[in-house]
Structure 1
Amino acid sequence: MLTVFEKSIGKPPQELSLPLAGSSGLKNTRQEIAEIFRSWRSDSTFYNFRNGNFLALSREDQNPVHPRSIVVMDDIFCIFSGVLDNTCDLRRYYGLSRQATEAMIIIEAYKVLRDRAPYPPDQVIKELEGKFAFILFDSKASVLLLARDRDGSVQLHWGTAADGSLVCSDNPNLISAACGKCYTPFPPGCIFMSGTGLICFDHPLHKVRAIAREDDEGNTGAVIFQVDLFTRFPSIPRTGSAANWAGATAVEGE
């Protein structure tokens, strides 16, 4: 799977571009990345949006234990990879039929998050049990939501394109070809929501920090994101404006 969204929608952490500083690392435009994916996956299906943003899905070489699927409901697109262990419980909780797939459950969970704002996103996503990664895009609201299970059982990587667009894929070779050095694994147990930032859904009051790895010459060769269990945000009552929650959960690069 592959998604590319312009900077104004994806709002990627600026630390994702650190490996490019002082180097000539190869990065591609959104159009070039789409062509790379088409050349690698001839069976791919594209879902195109305004300004060159897109989602793409291929079932070639997919892990049978972690199948990929896509669902489109009410202008909300969700690519899901993996399996939820508590599907039956979630169907009952959200009032869905027995035929509802994991991707349908994710869309319904997102609707609850959206319609009950400022309901904190960690309260919704932490109820998911299993091995999964998903990418959801609300095309009406231009909201992007990413998440990965606690153990990082399903691959998900993110990086930046030449114009600062956010690129996400479950294929490390593909995202390396698209983003050069400017990519890294999406942190397990975390969610990223455009306009809100990167948080750990089990430790939402702890910062998720970007840690740069430098070579012998002091150049940043890679960046990883980890939960800082020694630093907490001030406790905020779960009432008030959405802006308060956005300020409480946004990732900070230091």
Structure 2
Amino acid sequence: MLAVFEKAIGKPPEELRLPSNVLEKAKTREEILETFQSSCPESTVYYLSNGNFMALSHADESIQSHPRSIVVIDDVFCIFIGILENTCDLRRHYGLPRQATEAMVVVEAYKVLRDRAPYPPDQVIKDLQGKFAFILFDARFGTLFAARDRDGSVELQWAMAGDGSLVYSHDLDIIREACGKSFAPFPPGCIFTSGSGLTSFVHPLHKVRASTHEDDDGHICGVTFQVDLFTRLPSIPRTGSAGNWADQAPVVKEGEGNWSDQATVVKEGE
């Protein structure tokens, strides 16, 4: 799995830029996609606007524990890795058919939050029980949403590309090839959205902070994001019908068109 978004859509935490002396070696979005397609020629790629893209390969996939899937519903793109243990309950809760997959459930949960829910994202993500990681992009509103289960059961890395873009992948080798050392594990039990940035759905009243690591020479060689249980946030804003996720998305300038108009899918080899 690979997903890359320009800085205007998925503004990466500045700590991913550390160590700064290696960012110049990181690739651009175009170079990252070219490298991915060379190593995974059978991959499916969704081309979005402005050079953003989402790609999925089933190479070396574990069907039993970490199956991968991608769906597109009403201009919402979602790559899902893993298994939800309470899929049946979630289907009934959201009124979905028995054939609905985990990725479809996640898309429906997001749409409910975006359109109707009077509560923050952490309240809904807590209902997802299992081992999972997912990347979701709402092409209509330009909204990015990513999450990883509370135990970190599914590998998920995020990084900063050479042009400042945000990069996601479950494959550490892909991340290293694309971004050098400007990457970190996506923290377990956390969500990242375009409007709110990085937050914890396990400890929503506490801030997620970055801790740097140094080598023997005192140079910064890596960063880890963790929940600071010693610092309590003063409040968590509640999201209602008058201020949903879509309202927090970047504004599309006149003449640029919307995201959905420019999204296409290409299956390599077809």
Q: Same fold (TM over 0.5)?
A: yes
**Where does residue 41 of structure 1 map in the other structure?**
40
Corresponding position: 1:57 with 2:56: yes
- Matched-pair contact (CA < 8 Å) for 1:26–1:181: no
**Where does residue 215 of structure 2 map in the other structure?**
215
Which consecutive residues of structure 1, in runs of 5 or more, have no partner in the other structure? Answer: 248-254
**Where does residue 83 of structure 1 map in the other structure?**
83
TM-aligned CA distance change 1:229 to 1:102, over 3 Å: same
**Shift in Å, 1:135:** 0.4
Structure 1 residues 110-129: aligned runs within 5 Å: 110-116=110-116, 119-129=119-129
Corresponding position: 1:173 with 2:173: yes
Distance (Å, rounded) in 1 between the aligned partners of 2:177 and 2:34? 11
Normalised by the length of structure 2, the TM-score is 0.86
TM-aligned CA distance change 1:119 to 1:160, over 3 Å: same
TM-aligned CA distance change 1:34 to 1:215, over 3 Å: same
Distance (Å, rounded) in 1 between the aligned partners of 2:109 and 2:92? 12
**Shift in Å, 1:70:** 0.4
Dislocated runs of 4+, deviation >4 Å: 239-243
**Where does residue 150 of structure 1 map in the other structure?**
150
Q: Secondary structure at the match of 1:110?
A: helix
**Shift in Å, 1:11:** 1.0
**Shift in Å, 1:239:** 6.6
Q: Please provide the CA RMSD for this pair.
A: 1.9
Aligned residue-pair number: 244
**Where does residue 199 of structure 2 map in the other structure?**
199
Normalised by the length of structure 1, the TM-score is 0.91
**Where does residue 6 of structure 1 map in the other structure?**
6
Q: Secondary structure at the match of 1:9?
A: coil
**Where does residue 251 of structure 1 map in the other structure?**
none
- Matched-pair contact (CA < 8 Å) for 1:25–1:180: no
Which consecutive residues of structure 2, in runs of 5 or more, have no partner in the other structure? Answer: 249-270
Q: Secondary structure at the match of 1:163?
A: coil
Distance (Å, rounded) in 1 between the aligned partners of 2:87 and 2:45? 28
Higher relative contact order (CA 8 A, sep 6+): 2
Distance (Å, rounded) in 2 between the aligned partners of 1:238 and 1:47? 33
- Matched-pair contact (CA < 8 Å) for 1:25–1:181: no
